[in-house]
Amino acid sequence: MSRRIVFLLLIAIGASVLSACDGDVGGRVDGVSLDGSWQFIKADSSSTIAVQRQLLSGGSVAGCERVVLPHSGCMASLSYDSISADGVGGNCYYYRKFVVPSEMSGKRLSLFFEGVVHHCGVWINGIRSMVHYGNTPFVVDFVPMAGENTVVVKLDSDGAICNNVWLIAKDSLSITNEYERLGQFGGVVVNAHYADGNGKFAIKAMVRNSYSEARKARLSYHILDHNGKEMARGGVSHVIGAGMSDVFDDSIEVGGITPWDIENPWLYTVVANLECGGEVVDTKKITFGFRDISISEEAFKLNGRDRQLHGVRLRSGYPLVGVAVGGNANWRDAYKIKRGGFDLVIPSGYMVTEEFLSACDHYGILVAETNEDSYSNTRRNHPCIVPASLGNVNLCVYGCDVAADITGSEQELLAQSQGLSSMYNDIVPRYWSGTVCTMFDEGTSNGVMSATRMPKFAYYFSQSQREIDEEELRAFADPVCIIASYWIPEQSKGVRIYSNCHQVELFVDGVSVGRRSPEMSPSSVNLPHPSFYYDVNCTKPGTLKAFGYDKDDAPIAECVVSTPGEPVRLRLVLDESGTHIGANDIIMVHCYVLDGNGNTVVTCDEGVEFDVTGTAQMLSPSIVKCEAGVATAIIRTGMSANDFAISAKCRGMYTVADR
């Protein structure tokens, strides 16, 4: 079996493992999902009081529509060029009824909102129970009624319940929720420090006793490796007074560990059990990593090694949907970020979700947490989290943005990627933090990918800056060889190739025009991998083919680009990006307009008509205009991930994809 095949098998196995991890994201909450069967209505300034009174009284309101969470109040008003809509006025309301299962009887009950955008009011059984600001998760305790209970959520008109809502039942003696603040923190906080092959592990848990008498409790925990084998264990006991809360903390040393790193994101699990009277009354399971981070004016060190970081600014959300995209979409975005050669994310004006942080833990992406309070609470359990600054030293000291529309000319897209290349070259000798560009278009065209997650040439440049793993054991470190050209007569002038290979050879219509080393110039001398350039122009339709070679002259990567012909067929691709499609999942479906040789007709800007059948729902308009030969629909799967079909047609061409 060739080394290349072995590498591809490892990538496939890694993607499978990560998909399985993603499937566990929603399961990390021990409760009943309340994501289905909500009623939603928008009310303008003149009718909002009447609508609110009617909902709180339990009456029906004309104009309500049934929705499934996550959901945004501004879905219908958004376009592919925008992921926010402000200043609409009025309010939107979410309302649903639910019955508390009999097995939860006698427990302390709460609703856990994993993400609600902007100013939020919550009423349970007609009682105002919570006012919340921002987009952080929160917990609402309540006393249940016999039979049906009701919950009403009031938001600004452009607000959203952008993640899951859970009905949680706890013993009156329990570990608090991560976002339930009875002191400086909630839930369980771990601190795992790495030094010379050994780890120092510290754990803190906030425990609440809602009983009317004191309780003696023990917090026992054990640390598991990636195979589920126990590596260490410990425990601590306390007596908690009636109606009081207390902190349980302990620390141990663990030998023979592998640190979490951006190249090797090694994860461990701690299982914490709260025991009382010999019985386990609550359990928390946390995935974490051992690591050591140092930030100074001279260097950023991860586990003792200097690192030059290549990062992106990121604002969460899909066009037409906003931030109400759910967990799997966060994993897909993280996959694209890592695949694009980036190891650092700078959130743009919002707090990223727990799902996104979990994905970054698994893929090896650092996330700069700008909110010091957020860094001090349980989000620090994620090894990906780093402070945006320590003292007077900032993690990110330089940003760069060069705009290029995905529908623009080849020269415009090349100008963006070369602009990014020049700025990266400038930054490397001066700042250890490296470049910070925009990941996805956000109303402007300054992203390295479009809002519909289609890569631009700048994305391929960034991808080519990652070193090849010659042992072929690390994901995302494979050889890259990308021809940044559409090869269109009278338009394509000069051929630039982005590659991390030792040398590249280009063929034009089967004839070699030379094998060469990277182009060295003052604007590329500091790059890990300068690009390759050939002074050849397209004068007639034809084909470019490039091979990338390693230091032993073996071909390890190739790329083919042909002049696109007339459209003859369509191809539908469901964007999975390393993560399986799940139930109640929001996904992008790309329709490629192809010529007779399977080339994308990048000059096509016509509308493609989509249709979906089965349990899935179309969220985008039925007709979507092509961008560089690709039209993108956004759909939500139903209760089954495999019970739908989506079709597309354009100019007499038709195709269908089913699951």
pLDDT given at position 559: 98
Q: Residues 239, 367: one domain?
A: no
CATH number of residue 344's parent domain: 3.20.20.80
**Sign, Cα dihedral of 259, 265, 266, 271:** positive
Residue 6 lies inside a defined structural domain of this protein: no
* Residue 87, pLDDT above cutoff 90: no
For residue 24, give every residue at least 6 positions away whose Cβ sits within 8 Å of its Cβ, in sequence order, or none.
none
Residue 7 lies in a domain: no
Q: Are residues 237 and 368 in the same domain?
A: no
Residue range 642-652: mean pLDDT, rounded: 95
Choose the weakest-confidence range: 44-53, 66-75, 571-580: 66-75
* Helix-strand-coil split of the chain, %, nearest 5: 15, 40, 45
pLDDT of residue 340: 96
How does pLDDT run across 468-526, given as a tens digit for each residue?
998 777 889 999 999 999 999 999 999 999 999 999 999 999 999 999 999 999 989 99
Sign of CA pseudo-dihedral 532, 534, 538, 540: negative
Average pLDDT over residues 646-656: 96
- Beta bridge partners, 591, equal 572, 631
Q: Are residues 68 and 139 in the same domain?
A: yes
pLDDT over 70 at 14, yes or no? no
Domain assignment of residue 458, yes or no: yes
pLDDT value of position 659 = 83
Residues 340 and 462 in one domain: yes
pLDDT band at 25 (very low <50, low <70, confident <90, very high): very low
Flag whether pLDDT at 374 surpasses 50: no
> Residue 539 pLDDT more than 50?
yes
Q: Are residues 354 and 453 in the same domain?
A: yes
Distance CA(321)–CA(328), nearest Å, equals: 14
Asked if pLDDT for residue 566 goes beyond 90, the answer is yes
User: Quick check: 638 and 615 in contact, CB under 8 A?
Assistant: yes
What mean pLDDT, rounded, does the chain reach?
A: 88
Task: Give CA–CA dist 125/339, Å, rounded.
Answer: 47
Kindly report, residue by residue over 223-253, the tens digit of the pLDDT.
999 899 999 999 999 999 999 999 999 999 9
Task: Flag whether 24 is in a domain.
Answer: no
Q: Are residues 315 and 464 in the same domain?
A: yes
Kindly give, in sequence order, each residue whose CB lies less than 8 Å from that of residue 504, ignoring residues fewer than 6 positions away. Answer: 481, 497, 515, 516, 532, 546, 547, 548, 549
Indicate whether 427 pLDDT > 90.
Answer: no
Question: Where is pLDDT greater, at 327 or 262?
Answer: 262
Cβ count near 186 (within 10 Å): 21
Picking from 291, 324, 351, the residue at the C-terminal end of a domain is: 291
End-of-domain residue from the set 563, 597, 622:
563
Q: Which of 105-109, 154-158, 547-551, 612-616 has the lowest mean pLDDT?
A: 154-158
pLDDT at 4: 39
Q: Alpha-carbon torsion 175, 177, 179, 182, what sign?
A: negative
Q: CA–CA distance from 335 to each of 312, 329, 478 (Å)?
A: 13, 10, 15
Mean pLDDT computed over 1-6: 36
**Residue 549 sits in the same domain as residue 574:** no
- Residues 6 or more apart whose CB falls under 8 angstroms from that of 343 comprise 262, 307, 309, 310, 311, 364, 365, 366
The answer to whether residue 304 sits within a structural domain is no
Domain region containing 66: 31-169
Q: How many angstroms separate the CA atoms of 624 and 636, rounded? A: 16
**Is residue 466 located within the same domain as residue 485?**
no
pLDDT at 19 over 90: no
Where among 227, 256, 291 does a domain terminate?
A: 291
- When pLDDT is cut at 50, 70 and 90, the band that residue 184 belongs to is confident
Q: Is the pLDDT of residue 10 over 60?
A: no
- What's residue 179's pLDDT? 85
Between CA 636 and CA 628 the distance in angstroms is: 24
Judgement on whether residues 465 and 489 belong to the same structural domain of the protein: no
Residues 575 and 615 in one domain: yes
Q: Is 213 domain-assigned? A: yes
Q: Looking at the predicted structure, is the pLDDT value of residue 338 above 70?
A: yes
Q: Is the dihedral of CA 442, 443, 445, 451 positive or negative?
A: positive
pLDDT digits (tens, 9 = 90+) for 122-152: 999 999 999 988 777 899 999 999 899 999 9
Strand ranges, E, within 466-585: 481-483, 493-499, 503-508, 511-516, 532-537, 543-549, 555-562, 569-574
**Per-residue pLDDT averaged across 264-273, rounded?**
97
Distances (CA, A) of 147 to 31, 88, 97: 19, 37, 10
Domain contains 22: no
Q: For residue 543, name the pLDDT band (cuts at 50, 70, 90).
A: very high
Please tell me whether residues 331 and 463 are part of one structural domain: yes
Q: What is the pTM of this model?
A: 0.91
Task: Say yes or no to pLDDT of 390 above 90.
Answer: no
Task: Kindly report the CATH number assigned to the domain that includes residue 238.
Answer: 2.60.40.10
CA quadruple 139, 142, 146, 150: dihedral sign: negative
Q: Are 570 and 608 in contact (CB under 8 A)?
A: yes
Average of per-residue pLDDT across 324-341: 93
What's the alpha-carbon Rg for the chain, to the nearest Å? 27
pLDDT tops 90 at residue 361: yes
Q: Summarize the confidence of residues 631-649 as an average pLDDT.
A: 93
* 157: region left, alpha or beta (phi > 0 left; psi from -120 to 50 alpha): alpha
Residues 155 and 204 reside in one and the same domain:
no
Is 227 part of any domain? Answer: yes
CB atoms within 10 A of CB 387: 20
pLDDT of residue 93: 94
CA-based end-to-end distance of the chain: 32
Q: What is the CATH number of the domain that holds 52?
A: 2.60.120.260
The pLDDT-based confidence of 74 (bands split at 50, 70, 90) is low
The domain tally of the chain equals 5
* pLDDT for 357 beyond 50: yes
Task: Collect all residues with Cβ–Cβ distance below 8 Å to 546 and sequence separation of at least 6.
Answer: 481, 483, 497, 499, 504, 505, 506, 507, 558, 559, 560
Q: Which of the 8 DSSP states describes residue 384? A: T
- Say if residues 504 and 559 touch (Cβ distance below 8 Å): no
